[in-house]
Structure 1
């Protein structure tokens, strides 16, 4: 095998990996999954406002929504990527950051005198999260398309 053949094969592998990643992002950050995730986050954070037995009762419908969303996600996904330790650490960091931001916003809303500070903070986080995630997904897909067009020009 000549050097340029090996180089072209490696470029093709990288390009296919980038395409798979872009499809994974496009599917995972589509509107149905973003809205289901936002609903889950909202239910979890807003349940702090409910009285004691009902706050825990929100767990059961949330688990059903998680299971249904996961089943549909895995069934409809055209590309399946393994969860790497780096991705898991990013997820844990994002979750911890989300909880910290929620606590900060709910404390601020409570200090201002909002009647339901947890609900307001949860709604603000969900709206901001959906907008940021949809924009990030669009940027990632556009980046992959421009990389594909550039590789086709070569």
Structure 2
């Protein structure tokens, strides 16, 4: 094999990897995926305002939505990529930051006398999360063109 052939093969592998990553992100940032994720987040956070046993019972629809989202992903996603350690750490950090923000917002809403502080905090975080995700998606589209 000539060096030019080897370089061409490596370039092709890199092109296909970038193409796969683009499809993976395009599906992950699709409107349907983002809306279901925001709804699960809202339901989970809003459930804190309900008395027992209703607070826990409301989590069943959230779990059903997550399972449905997983099944749809496994059947329809054009590309499936394994979860790497970097992505896992970023996801864990984002989750911890989200819970921290939720705690701060719900405590502030409760101090302000809002009757359903967790629902308000969940709605704010879901809406802001959707806005950020849409902006990231648009930035990736512009950057990829």
Higher-RCO chain (CA-CA 8 Å, sequence separation at least 6)? 1
Structure 1 runs (4+) greater than 6 angstroms displaced: none
What is residue 150 of structure 1 aligned with on the other side?
none
What is residue 121 of structure 1 aligned with on the other side?
121
Correspondence 1:136-147 to 2 at 5 A = 136-145=136-145
Q: Distance in 2 between matches of 1:110 and 1:74?
A: 40
Q: Distance in 1 between matches of 2:138 and 2:74?
A: 21
Q: Give the TM-score taking structure 1 as reference length.
A: 0.88
Q: Do the aligned residues in 1 keep the contact of 2:47 with 2:59 (CA within 8 Å)?
A: no
Q: Distance in 1 between matches of 2:62 and 2:77?
A: 22
- Range with bigger deviation, 74-83 or 130-139: 130-139
Matched, 1:110 2:110: yes
Q: Distance in 2 between matches of 1:48 and 1:38?
A: 16
Q: What is the aligned length?
A: 145
What is residue 47 of structure 1 aligned with on the other side?
47
- What is the deviation of 1:75? 0.8
Q: Do the aligned residues in 2 keep the contact of 1:41 with 1:126 (CA within 8 Å)?
A: yes
Q: Do the aligned residues in 2 keep the contact of 1:18 with 1:144 (CA within 8 Å)?
A: no
What is residue 65 of structure 1 aligned with on the other side?
65
What is residue 82 of structure 1 aligned with on the other side?
82
Cα RMSD over matched residues? 1.3
Unaligned runs of 5+ in 2: none
Unaligned runs of 5+ in 1: 146-154
Q: Do the aligned residues in 2 keep the contact of 1:109 with 1:121 (CA within 8 Å)?
A: yes
What is residue 8 of structure 2 aligned with on the other side?
8
Q: Distance in 2 between matches of 1:9 and 1:144?
A: 22
- What is the deviation of 1:115? 2.0
Q: Distance in 2 between matches of 1:79 and 1:126?
A: 26
What is the CA deviation profile of residues 89-127 of structure 1, one whole-angstrom value per residue up to 9, with x for unaligned ones?
Answer: 111111111000100111111222222111111001001
